[in-house]
Amino acid sequence: MNIALIAHDEKKPIIISFAIAYKQVLEKHSLFATGTTGKKIGEETGLNIHRFQSGPLGGDQQIGAMIANNEMDMVIFFRDPLTAQPHEPDVSALIRLCDVHQIPLATNLGSAEIFIRGLERGDLEWREIVKKKKESEQ
């Protein structure tokens, strides 16, 4: 599965801790991240992560393009709802794309832990069926 890891600045320590705690699950999948988040997670965990631009420089949109092309299976995005973000329209667009394309989106530690446990159990295998169906329609 392709999994995107994104975190606003104030949430980066939490996503790093999350990646450390669930490294054994995450390392079995293809990981993608916005610039600084991916760099920090990679440094702390040794996980192989494809890094895009930082969020404000277009990283959110790069991940959004993968979602629109049916190339992303899950997004873990630890948002900071208490701090104004200069790229809030990009964040809103990313969330909208997840909803449009039925991509599981965790926006906090609680939902991310539920998703990662489901991933570990195989609960997200339906994504493979969706991908094959969309490929056959093209």
H or E, element range at 90: helix 88-100
The CATH number given to whatever domain includes residue 76 is 3.40.50.1380
Handedness of CA 40, 9, 11, 62 (dihedral sign): negative
Give the pLDDT score at 3.
98
Q: Which of 60, 73, 80, 99 is catalytic?
A: 60
60 assigned to active site: yes
Would you say residue 106 has pLDDT above 90?
Answer: yes
Taking the C-alpha atoms of residue 22 and residue 120, their distance in angstroms, rounded to an integer, is 10
**Residue ranges making up the domain that contains 30:** 2-137
Number of structural domains the chain divides into? 1
Give the pLDDT score at 85.
76
Give the pLDDT score at 103.
95
Would you say residue 31 has pLDDT above 80?
Answer: yes
| Amino acid letter, residue 77 | F
Q: What is the pTM of this model?
A: 0.91
Give the pLDDT score at 32.
98
Grade residue 29 by pLDDT with cuts at 50, 70 and 90: very high
